[in-house]
Chain A
Amino acid sequence: MQQQYRAYRIFRIVIIGLCVTMAIPTVMICQSTHVPWSQLLFLIAIATLCELAPVALGANYAEVTLTLPLVIMVMLVYGTLPVIILGPSAFILASALGWSSALLSHRFTVPSTQRTGLSSRLRALIFNVILAWVGRPWVGRHSGSFGWVILSVLYNASHLCLNIVFASLVYTLAGGALLGSPAISELRTLGWVQTIAAAVAAMTVFFASDAGIYGVATALYESLPAYTRTLGGFVLRCQMLFRQTIASVYKSDVVLTVLGAVLTFLYLRIGTTAVIVLFGSLYMIRDAIRQTFQQIQTYRDTVTTLGTYMQRYHPYTRGHLKRVADLSERLAKELRLPLESVMMMPDAGMLHDIGKVGVSEDILDKVGKLTDDEWTVIKQHPVKGAEIVSHLPFLDKIVDWVKYHHKWADGTGYPDDGKKDGQIPIEATIIAVADAFDAMTDDRDLSVDWQCDTCGHRPDDGGRPEFCPQCGVEKKRVYREPLSLNDAIDQLRRGAGSQFSPRVVKAFLRMLERDGVHIDG
């Protein structure tokens, strides 16, 4: 195991230990009723099936398993001991049964992210984290090691178990009644109110514990030097992951909790049949929903196709587009933009220059100063790009981002339509900063004269031949010394307020500083 995962590994063992030491006293403190073994085994079987077959509840939701409503139901009806047996054992059983197919290939990979190459941690969160006790950490590189997989299964089961432990403690301490106990028939109005309040509190604690443990685990797993260097940075990162997880899963959590309530109600009134009827019909919508994900994949493919199109047209932009996409996404996160904006940022970054297909290569690659006419053509590219993107209904949010990515904060820049800071979408100003920063720190520059770096020849006519006329070496790009990081930052800082939005520049500097970049002045 690599050195960098040591802290993460220790954390997992700590979680497993904590789970074992907490589960036993919790079972003794908290209330449980008697459940027939046959009934418990039946519920475990159902939970295992649920765990093996994740369901998506809609296009904007991540995939979830229906184990959670079942866990809620058992906790409310039968109490702590049965649910502590049920949750982890269903998870471990499912892991054993679905070893190769369901668990390793389905849950733990992020196909859409990997296939498009527009990978982002956030998207991975959305697809994988929903049931956070199965963590992203299990992906890929570790799945080969048997010991690691065993540890992962135990850790994930412990994670779930700890969530249950915390929730049970809260439910008991808040005075929730066990719905399956005979005493329930004597419960009065106040008792019911207390029970419902206790259940809500228990579920809140459940999800908080879930996201919290996940956040720490992921922050440890990432091992980004910038975050792990100081305790403060690490805590900040954990908080950020916690917030992101909550933001991306709270809708599904609410849905699952409501399902849990419905299930509990039906189970108390009808019994076992309710479980089968409810899950049966929910699984019927499964394939329909799967197709929805396929559709999302189509959207992603389109963005990739368009992005590739631009790259084919002008190959040097490849690295640039990807870097702008990544940087813009990070900036959007840093500025705490709505999740939707953050998610669309990589697409916008990839496509922001697509309008350049309408600009002749002669102008794009021109060495030296551009004429006014040529500038006029260049200045059309954001509008042209916006027009191309506007054909895609699912990208209509980014049309204006593309259109205004060369608009200055003070109202100059292009397109010249009188918009000023405040009317320009913040996302466009983010792309502007990312674009400018990457261009400044990139080593490709067309504003300097063409010079062969093999023999030093410099054509008199200012041309830009593909082969050096003197030594014949192929030479397609003109390189320069990139600006140093400090100079680039200085440029950004000087442009804040005129060219760039001060808010975005500030966030950018903050981000760099947290990455451990030392900034002068």
Chain B
Amino acid sequence: MDNHIVVDLPAIVAIIAAAMITIGSAYWSRMALPRQIDQAYRASLHALAAAVETKDSGTVGHARRVADYSVAIGRELGLSPAELQRIEHAALLRDIGKVNIPHSLLNKSEALTEEEFDIIKSHSKIGADIASQTPFLARCADIITHHHERWDGSGYPAALQGEDIPLSARIVAVANDYDAMTSDRPYHKALRGPAAARIIREGAAEAYDPAVVDMFLRILEKEGTILT
């Protein structure tokens, strides 16, 4: 045959194709796919959060704001990206336990009796239970459990004090309370940003971690909600 032909075109085409397929699949599995999976996780969490909010207050969007504030605080405090993601997911799902609390209690405009308040309080533990049953949410369980703890130990469910409360839970607590104060609920009218910020500031050292409050106020200043 033609021994002088050195270049075998089909072979080269095949090898180039193989190389392109290899590079493409590496890109897909290392870059594109993880991003898509991450987005799918996040979308699922938003849907779950929306379901809780539909039941809880009837208006959707709190979870997203709490998550945004929590992540902003965490970033200011220099937390790792992995921890920021954990905070975001936990903030979205902090109230998922409310699925087991009757509407009539969640939206009661009169003062709650002690028994009723105990039922409401159970939501953080129930939420942590639900989260720990789902593989990709299990790591958020401790934040969900403790997002109603107070710096001085007056919170629930474990009445932890100071730095015994996980840092991420302390962050979510501040963001959560600020958002609750600034939105309308059956039992109170919405406060304006600066008024709510003042309450948060006063609560530092008592209800909230002072360092977290510091960061949070700095963020509010930055976004122009309160003046310096």
Instruction: Please list the residues of chain A having a beta carbon within 8 angstroms of any beta carbon in chain B.
Output: 265-266, 269-270, 273-274, 277-278, 280-282, 284-285, 287-289, 291-292, 294-295, 298-299, 301-302, 305-306, 309, 312-313, 354-355, 357-362, 384, 387-389, 391-394
Contacts and interface: CB of A to CB of B under 8 A. Distances in A.
B48 interface: yes
A281 B51 contact: no
B10 A270 contact: yes
A306 B51 contact: yes
A306 B40 contact: no
A469 B54 CA distance: 34
Contacts of A305: 44, 48, 134
A295 B38 CA distance: 10
Interface in B18-51: 18-19, 21-22, 24-26, 28-29, 33, 36-37, 39-41, 43-44, 46-48, 50-51
A298 B135 CA distance: 10
Contact of A266 (B14, B41, B58): B14
Given A285-B24, A298-B44, A312 B104 contact: no
Name the prevailing secondary structure of the B interface residues: helix
B1 interface: no
B17 interface: yes
Interface string B44-78: 10111011101100101000000000000000000
A305 B43 CA distance: 13
A278 B18 contact: yes
A361 B37 contact: no
B199 to A, nearest CB: 29
22 contacts: A281-B19, A281-B22, A284-B21, A285-B22, A287-B25, A288-B29, A289-B25, A295-B33, A301-B44, A302-B43, A302-B44, A305-B44, A313-B100, A358-B55, A360-B103, A361-B104, A388-B47, A388-B54, A391-B44, A391-B46, A392-B43, A394-B40
Interface of B: 8, 10-11, 14-15, 17-19, 21-22, 24-26, 28-29, 33, 36-37, 39-41, 43-44, 46-48, 50-52, 54-55, 58, 60, 99-100, 102-104, 107, 134, 136
Contact of B54 (A289, A295, A358): A358
B44 A291 contact: no
A397 to B, nearest CB: 14
Q: Closest 6 CB pairs between A and B?
A: A281-B18, A360-B103, A288-B29, A391-B47, A285-B25, A358-B54
Given A305-B134, A384-B54, A266 B10 contact: yes
Contacts of B107: 360
Given A284-B25, A354-B51, A384-B54, A277 B14 contact: yes
B33 A291 contact: yes
Contacts of B54: 355, 357-358, 384, 387-388
A393 B46 CA distance: 11
Contacts of B33: 288, 291-292, 295
Contacts of A384: 54
Nearest to A281: B18
A450 B14 CA distance: 76
Contacts of B39: 393
A357 B25 contact: no
Contact of B48 (A278, A295, A309): A309
Contacts of A360: 102-104, 107
Given A298-B41, A357-B55, A270 B103 contact: no
Contacts of B99: 309, 312-313, 357
B21 A299 contact: no
B48 A306 contact: yes
Contact of A284 (B10, B22, B50): B22
Contacts of A285: 21-22, 24-25, 28
Contacts of B14: 266, 270, 274, 277-278
A388 B29 contact: no
A62 to B, nearest CB: 19
B40 A295 contact: yes
B103 A265 contact: no
A393 B106 CA distance: 30
Given A278-B18, A281-B22, A361-B102, A287 B29 contact: yes
Given A265-B10, A278-B18, A384-B54, A389 B104 contact: no
A288 B58 CA distance: 41
A81 B84 CA distance: 63
B168 to A, nearest CB: 22
Contacts of B18: 277-278, 280-281
B58 to A, nearest CB: 6
Contacts of A266: 10, 14
A394 B40 CA distance: 8
Contacts of A358: 54-55, 58
